[in-house]
Amino acid sequence: MHLNINLDWLSPKSPPLLGLDISSTSVKLVELSDTGKGKLRVERYVIEPLPKDAVTDGNIANLDQVAETLGIAWKNLGTRIKNVALALPSSAVITKKILVSASLTGADLENQVETEANQVIPFSLDEVNLDFQVLGPSPASPDDVQVLLAAARKEKVEDRVAACEAAGLKAMVLDVESFATQTAYEQVAHLLPDEGAGLVVAMIDVGAHNMHINILNDNESVYLREHAFGGNQLSVEISRRYGMSIEEAETAKCKGALPDSYQEEVLQPYRETLAMEIGRAIQLFTTSTQFLHVDQILLAGGGAMIAGIDDVVAQRTSTPTMLANPFANMAVNSKIRPQALAADAPSLFVACGLAMRRFES
Ligand SMILES: Nc1ncnc2c1ncn2[C@@H]1O[C@H](COP(=O)(O)OP(=O)(O)OP(=O)(O)O)[C@@H](O)[C@H]1O
Ligand SMILES: [Mg+2]
C-alpha cells in the first residue's frame, strides 16, 4: 500500500524556461505555460529587431549588439523567468546516427560513443561540444541500440551562451534549430490526415535571407537543406521599384504602406518567385532521395507572411499547402491580441519549439 500524494506543486518537474530564437533579423522570445489539462498556453512573446549584420548566416557577428537587443527583448517581455532554451543553426551542428552495443551503460556507454564519434566527426573532439541521445533498439541488429550524435563547434556554443549571460539570462537548453522546428511541428501535426502518420511533410521556414527546409517522413526528419531566398528579396524589389532605402522598404512592406501598383507589380511576382523556389527545393528533394513526392507543405517564417501565399504555392507545386501556426491549438493569455499573435505566429515557429522544451526532458 502506498500513499500517493501529488507533490508536483512543491517540486515542479518542469522548471520555467523561455524559448529564445536568435535569428538573422531579430531576437524572439516565447513563454508558454501548461494549463494542466494537456493544453499549453501562450503567456507572452516578443520580437525585437536586431541591428543589421549583428547575426549573419546564423553566426553571432556582434556579441555586444546581440546581448543589448536580447536585454531589451527580455525587458519588453515582462517576465521573471531568466532561464532560456536556445538553438544553434542546423548548419553549425553535425548530427550522425551510430550503433553501439545495447549492453553498455553509464561511463562505458559514454566512452564508446566518444570512440565512435572520433571516427565520424570531422573535427578533433577538443574543438566540439558533443551530445548524444539513445534512440532505441536497432531494427537491423538486435544487440545494438541506435544513438544520435550531435557535435557543434565550441566557439558557436560559447557565443550563444555568452550573449545570454551578458543580457542577464541563463542558457539551460541548447538545441538545434531543425529539432526545435520538429518540436513545434507536434502542434500542427494534428491538423493533418492521421496526424501526419505515413506522410511526407515539407516544413519550409522562409526567413529573411534563407529558406530552412526540413522534410519529415512518417514524422521523422529525412532531409535538411537551406536555400538562399527569403523575405529580404521582397524588400530589395520594393527599394528598387520605389527608390527607397532597404530600411524604408522593409518598414513600408510590413505596414502595407505602398502605392497601388505594389500589389500587382511587386507583390504578385514575389509570390510567384517564392512558390517557384519552393517548387525547385522540392524537386531537388525528390530527385536526390528515394522519395517521389511530398504530401503536404507547411509554411512558416516571416518571409511567408503574405496574404494568399499558401494558394499560390499549392497551385505551383500541386501539393496541399498550409500556413503553420504553432499556437493554433493553444490557449492564449488575455493580454495578447489574437490578431497580432496570428500575424506573428509563423515567424515564431522556432522560438515556440524551444519554449516547448520546458515540458520535455
Ligand atoms: N507582415 C509582413 N509582411 C511581409 N513580410 C514580413 C512581414 N513581417 C515580417 N516579414 C518579413 O519576414 C522576414 C523575417 O522573417 P523571420 O523573422 O522568420 O526571419 P529570421 O528568422 O530573422 O531569418 P532567418 O531564419 O533566415 O535567420 C523579413 O524579411 C521581414 O521583412
Ligand atoms: Mg528564422
- Is the CB of 90 inside a 6 Å radius of any atom of ligand 1? no
Which domains are present in the chain? 92-154 (3.30.1490.300), 192-324 (3.30.420.40)
* Ligand 1 atom closest to residue 23's alpha carbon, by position in its atom list: 27
Q: Is the model more confident about 13 or about 23?
A: 23
Q: Is the model more confident about 42 or about 154?
A: 42
What does the pLDDT read at residue 237? Answer: 96
Element (H, E) at 107: helix 106-120
Tell me the mean pLDDT in the region 263-267.
Answer: 95
- Is the CB of 178 inside a 6 Å radius of any atom of ligand 1? no
Tell me the mean pLDDT in the region 239-257.
Answer: 92
In terms of average pLDDT, the best of 31-40, 78-87, 94-103, 129-138 is: 78-87
User: Would you say 314 and 320 are in contact if contact means Cβ atoms under 8 Å apart?
Assistant: yes
pLDDT-derived band of residue 13, with 50, 70 and 90 as boundaries?
Answer: low
- Is the CB of 19 inside a 6 Å radius of any atom of ligand 1? no
Question: Residue 186 C-alpha to ligand 1 middle, in angstroms?
Answer: 22
Neighbours of 81 (CB within 10 A): 18
Question: Residue 26 C-alpha to ligand 2 middle, in angstroms?
Answer: 9
User: Would you say 206 and 302 are in contact if contact means Cβ atoms under 8 Å apart?
Assistant: yes
What does the pLDDT read at residue 58? Answer: 87
pLDDT higher than threshold 80 for residue 294? yes
Tell me the mean pLDDT in the region 288-298.
Answer: 97
Give the Å distances, CA to CA, from 93 to 148, 152, 186, 212, 347.
12, 5, 22, 14, 22
User: How does DSSP classify residue 265?
Assistant: I
- DSSP states of 288-321 as a string? HSS----SEEEEESGGG-STTHHHHHHHHHTS-E
What does the pLDDT read at residue 256? Answer: 83
Question: Residue 325 C-alpha to ligand 1 middle, in angstroms?
Answer: 15
Tell me the mean pLDDT in the region 339-356.
Answer: 95
Q: What angle do CA 43, 47, 52 make, to 5 degrees?
A: 165
Q: What is the mean pLDDT of the chain?
A: 92
pLDDT higher than threshold 60 for residue 204? yes
Tell me the mean pLDDT in the region 310-327.
Answer: 96
Residue 130 to residue 126: CA distance in whole angstroms: 9
pLDDT higher than threshold 90 for residue 162? yes
Type of residue at 145:
V
Question: 3-class DSSP state for residue 32?
Answer: strand
Percent pLDDT > 90 in the chain is: 75
What does the pLDDT read at residue 1? Answer: 44
Q: Is the model more confident about 236 or about 58?
A: 236
pLDDT-derived band of residue 359, with 50, 70 and 90 as boundaries?
Answer: confident
CB hemisphere CA count around 12 (13 angstroms):
10
What does the pLDDT read at residue 361? Answer: 58
Q: Output the nine-digit C-alpha cell for 165.
A: 549571460
Neighbours of 49 (CB within 10 A): 13
- Is the CB of 209 inside a 6 Å radius of any atom of ligand 1? yes
Neighbours of 305 (CB within 10 A): 19
pLDDT-derived band of residue 225, with 50, 70 and 90 as boundaries?
Answer: very high
- Is the CB of 301 inside a 6 Å radius of any atom of ligand 1? yes
Q: Where are the beta strands (DSSP E) in the chain?
A: 18-22, 26-34, 40-49, 55-56, 59-60, 83-88, 93-101, 128-137, 144-153, 170-176, 200-206, 211-217, 220-227, 296-300, 321-323, 331-332
- 19-60 pLDDT, tens digit per residue, is 999 999 999 999 999 998 889 999 999 999 999 999 998 899
